Amino acid sequence: MTTREECHVLCLFEELGTVMEFGKYAEAHLPDVRNQPEIFGDQVYVNEQDEILGHVEKYLGNATTISFYDLCREVKARGGLVIPAHVDRLVFGLISQLGFIPPEPIVDALEVYHASCSAVNLGQHPYALVSSSDAHLPQDIGCVYNEIEMPTLSFSHLKEALQHKKVSIRMR
């Protein structure tokens, strides 16, 4: 999601029904601008076999009218996880857009763009750090990944691992 302040935020949910309902909420807060595929590319939706079922007409790349704090509340009310994306980047990150990392625990983790980023150069905060390759080229996919300590692969254990900072960022 992109908030009103133009912060990129990962919103994770356990159940597909919750995702679909939240998607309707998010879409209702997007500006009514039609996608221009020749400029922005196709916006398709697919089935389980990656077969294209249709195109999304509304442009999904715009910021929503939802504030960062309202987004956090809405995701949490649905039992979801909130992870501000690439907080250490100069654009679309929490620090560049809001100027700070909220000291109160309203998010579940912080996603950093540079895997070498540490809590020290982000200041004091109560959050686990995660990272991803944010790949724009095929050879960069998976160059950064997370090892998460949890007893089983489940949403509740992921939530618990983030809360207890049982995450390690790794580079290949």
Whether pTM exceeds 0.95: no
Q: Which residues contact 143 (CB under 8 A, 6 or more apart)?
A: 133, 135, 171, 172
Residue with tokens 């654009």, as numbered in its chain: 91
Set out the domains of the chain in order of their start, with CATH numbers.
9-29+64-171 (3.20.20.140), 33-61 (no CATH)
pLDDT by 10s per residue, the chain, length 172: 999 999 999 999 999 999 999 999 999 999 999 999 999 999 999 999 999 999 999 999 999 999 999 999 999 999 999 999 998 888 898 888 988 888 778 899 999 876 555 554 566 678 899 988 777 788 888 888 889 999 999 999 999 999 999 998 888 7
Q: Strand, coil or helix: what is 9?
A: strand
Closest CA to 142 of 157, 129, 131: 131
